[in-house]
Structure 1
Amino acid sequence: MRAVWSGSITFGLVNVPVKAYSATKGHDVALHQVHDADGGRIRYQRRCEVCGKKVDYEHIDKAYEDGEQTVVLTDEDFESLPEAQNDEIEVVQFVPSDQIDPITLGKSYFLEPQGKSPKSYLLLRQALEDTDRTAVVTFSLRQKTRLGVLRVQDRILVLQSMRWADELREVDFPAARSRAKIGAKEKKLAAALVDQFASDFTPEEFVDTYQVELRQLIDAKLEQGEALDTEATFGERGDASDGGDTGEDAEVIDLMQALKSSLDKKRGGRRTAAKGAGSTSGSKTSRSKTSGSKTSRSKASGTKKTGAKKSDSSGEKPAKSAKSGAASGEKSGSRRRKSA
């Protein structure tokens, strides 16, 4: 990675030398524009309206126009601003982390400790972790003064830019202030649906499907050329709209039906998964039962064989042995009664 900024964090009299690196990167497929008639590359040229000449970027300045006059600002003018020379990330507040509205957050930067000893870096990191607070900071980057926050992620200090208060729009949507009644059944179904989807966030499981399909389309066109059949590549897309009634009553009915259908779909997926796991264990159990029945049959057959051998050696049939045993039992019982 290439550092985009170097300077130091200051809080009080403590100075923490750091380098900043972009924490994110794009993954979109790189595309350029071409002429649809002949495929020629479209290039943008910077031309002066006065002389009509093509102008290189190094000869372009910025300007401000107030409607009557135009003020030209050169690179030297921007560099002369006092804040442009600021190479410090100044901590101005330590605030509770839950007071930072996510809508204000922008681009993130990893901060690498510099200098001979990272002790001050480690101290600031430990202070943020122990107090469970976020540091609000100001810093300059690319000729702009910026508001930001410092937080800890995986033992690294992260600088995240913020929007200024006057950059946030104020909105008031009438529909959001609606007093439409939400029934108890709807609340219950919605809560059940939330419970069905409840899990820990695993960002690795999510994929930018559009970029995957775009890459698939490009690869198919590289292989097949303009004769590509997109329906054969992606399949036909069905129409999601199914008509139906419109209006407030229809919306309520559709909402209830949508909640129920969503729950049924989610539960059905879980049943299928559980059934698949159960069938595997069930087959093992059935096999063990089968083997057990074979063992019991073998034991039974072994007993029969042993009994047959015993009856053969005594020369008597099993039925007679049972009768003689019963008779002897009756005789012994009569003897006991007499003695009593």
Structure 2
Amino acid sequence: MAAAAFLLPAVSPAAPAHPRLLFSHSPYRSRPRVHHVRLAASRPAASRSDGEGDGGGGGGVAGGGVFLSPRALSQLDEIAAFRYAHSFPHGRLTVRALTQADDDESDALVRLLASSFAENVRWAPAQRYEQLLAFVIRRYLFERRGLAPHAAVLVGYYRPAATGDGEEEDEDEREGNEDGDYGEMACTAEVSLDAVGAPGAPPTPTPPLDFPYICNMTVKTSLRRRGIGKQLLKACEDLIIKMDAKRRVYLHCRIIDQVPFNMYRKAGYNIVQTDSILVWLSLQKRKHLMSKELLQTSASSESTTKDFDDNNLTS
């Protein structure tokens, strides 16, 4: 199941500025007034987009940088500190923002996405196609890192429960998580929070660009059907609420993906629009655009459930 087809905007380099996030600078165009605390790297002035009120715009700075507003800096820290933890009877899931501290983490994410998207291709040798996808995905993630705090990529780590006493294992898992041992990378999703972070060429039917949008959502094949997808979706919604974005969130679901569609419906998402049959002419699968109005209170970041029924995630 995937929230949307893979998105490939035009790629241009962007240097990281926040020490804990893969995504770093806010691509604001020059404005007369300046709110600043920290100087962040940016694209050349000619390629920057206009600062918006929500993000706290910055003024043009000689040398290719922009000043981030206090609010934007606070949002960067909020994303960096974000955690969503969920305990299943079979293990524990921890979701957080993608960091730049470990190249192995980025490599694992690229492999996870490439494997997921390659599952739907039948006309190309799987290994070669995954290699091509890995290259494109790496470039895509490199480009998207320039959109924080307007967008973020979440990664989920899963640690299976031991075969001993459940309560003891829960305590051991929490100690392991405090030490940074979250287990294996199990899932990922991308969240666009506003128009600045919106994808450049979203799939059809086109969602409103100034509302939060969830896409590129997938779970590792061997860990599906365990409720991880459901909790990953809740983590995305939790981040949207914590970042004080608009409460109406959008995502896409292919018509043929019945399992994820059922999961979205159970989570409160309703169909807004469905692709015309004419999209087949462009060799694409028809999709539903779905939407949900989030509650004013954020979801619990620590919970336990035995409801894990909907987790077949492929692109």
Q: TM-score category by the smaller chain?
A: under 0.3
> TM-score normalized by structure 2?
0.22
> TM-score normalized by structure 1?
0.21
Q: Which has the larger radius of gyration?
A: 1
Structure with bigger RCO (C-alpha 8 Å, 6+ apart): 2
Name whichever structure is richer in helix by fraction.
1
Name whichever structure is richer in strand by fraction.
2
